[in-house]
Structure 1
Amino acid sequence: MSRLPSKWNVWSISLLALLVIGIFYHVIQRPLSFIIPIVVLGGIFLLYKYPPSFIRGNSSQQGRTYVKQSRTAASRTKPKKPRSKTVPFRVIEGGKEDDDLPKYH
């Protein structure tokens, strides 16, 4: 017994088989109609993955390298700001009077 997913019924399998046959027949009859879109989409993908330098927009920083400062160097250059005080949580009493429930639980 084959273990097909529940959404694969007879109609889905027959539609998929006809689709594969149609694509195969179309590739045999007119191969150029599939090669051109594949080349165009491949070119778009390559330009997206590896954009040229004039598209990237970093022409102003050509030749410059970014040097990351270490923590000690960064702490020496910046003055230390005083940290804010830690304030304990305050309980704000509500206006609802309910005698049935205890105030603390």
Structure 2
Amino acid sequence: QAHWLMTGSKFRCLTRVLFGGYVFGDQGIFVRRDILQQSGGVPKVPLMEEFELCKALRYHGRIALADSTIITSSRRFFANGVLKTYVLMGRLILLYQLGYSTESLAKSYSKLKSR
């Protein structure tokens, strides 16, 4: 059952893709093999690998959205509190965009309980 704060998640994801050109891994990223190889593959970083991948893929064309639905688990949100999780994830994205290392961000992210 969705928490009221999570009902806008689909809209937030859509705006992030359309205006920022970024997707998260749990949104399902499909890339042709040749384009993935040309872009250097999935970066080997501890966190934000999908953001790094999206940056590299920009040089090969636009991100398209499939007219499909992917269902992912909300357990991390409920284990840590929905608002607290959104705030932490927003903070991590901001710090990433400000140039903080993915290693330091991964330490903060690891503090979230995973059940």
The TM tier, using the shorter chain, reads under 0.3
**TM-score w.r.t. structure 2 length?**
0.21
Query: More relative contact order in 1 or in 2 (CA 8 Å, sep 6+)?
Result: 2
TM-score by structure 1 length? Answer: 0.23
